[in-house]
């Protein structure tokens, strides 16, 4: 399904519960909830890297249920490691996902984004948008405001 010109962006792209991680200074793991992709054909995961204290890895993982059972990486869905040493502070990174890139045949229909901060705390946030919904319009309850 394509987005018609008259559709609002928020009618066809959904922020699902637990997939927005507000900016936080973390050391170690920062991850979204596992989300069922059954009603969506595409998703994007945006990592905003603020002030870095060390290195950050950002990857997508898949699981067979919402608790993260049988979790495994999604092949090719990881950014090149970013770091303070490389001047990667205050940058944006995006990973796009289509459901056919997941191991659907073996029951892997849940996806989550994981950011790993290593060496020292780094300020990062993650925004996930799920699109090409099988059920439009999508709920807009996760948005604080929508201005037309």
Q: What are 95's strand-pairing partners?
A: 45
Long-range contact pairs involving 32-36 (C-beta distance under 8 Å, separation at least 24): 32/112, 32/113, 32/114, 32/126, 32/128, 33/66, 33/112, 34/63, 34/65, 34/66, 34/67, 34/68, 34/110, 34/111, 34/112, 35/66, 35/110, 35/111, 35/112, 35/128, 35/130, 36/66, 36/109, 36/110
Structure token pair of residue 105: 């045949």
64 found inside a domain: yes
Q: What angle do CA 67, 24, 119 make, to 5 degrees?
A: 90
Separation of alpha carbons 86 and 88, rounded Å? 6
Q: What is the CATH number of the domain that holds 119?
A: 2.60.120.20
72 found inside a domain: yes
86 found inside a domain: yes
9 found inside a domain: no
- Give the count of beta carbons closer than 10 Å to the beta carbon of residue 98: 12
Give the count of domains, the chain: 1
109 found inside a domain: yes
Q: What are 35's strand-pairing partners?
A: 111
6 found inside a domain: no
Q: What is the pLDDT of residue 23?
A: 80
4 found inside a domain: no
Residue 60, SS3?
A: strand
For residue 69, name the pLDDT band (cuts at 50, 70, 90). very high
| 15-25 tens-digit pLDDT | 877 777 878 77
Q: Is the pLDDT of residue 2 over 60?
A: no
Q: What pTM does this model have? A: 0.86
Measured in whole angstroms, the distance separating CA 108 from the mean position of its chain's CA atoms is 16
Range of the structural domain that residue 125 is part of = 14-133
The DSSP output letter for 134 is S
2 found inside a domain: no
| 118-133 tens-digit pLDDT | 888 888 999 999 988 8
């Amino acid at each position: 399904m394509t987005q018609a010109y008259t559709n609002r962006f928020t009618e066809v792209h959904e922020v699902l519960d637990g997939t927005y991680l507000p900016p936080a200074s973390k050391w170690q793991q920062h991850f979204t909830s596992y989300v069922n992709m059954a009603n969506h054909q595409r998703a994007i995961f945006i990592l905003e890297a603020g002030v870095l204290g060390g290195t950050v890895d950002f990857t997508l993982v898949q699981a067979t249920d919402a608790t993260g059972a049988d979790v495994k990486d999604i092949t090719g869905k990881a950014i090149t490691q970013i770091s303070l040493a490389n001047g990667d502070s205050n940058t944006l990174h995006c990973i796009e996902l289509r459901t056919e890139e997941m191991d659907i045949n073996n029951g892997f229909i849940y996806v989550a984004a994981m950011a790993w901060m290593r060496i020292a705390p780094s300020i990062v946030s993650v925004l996930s948008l799920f699109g090409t919904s099988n059920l439009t319009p999508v709920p807009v309850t996760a948005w604080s405001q929508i201005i037309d």
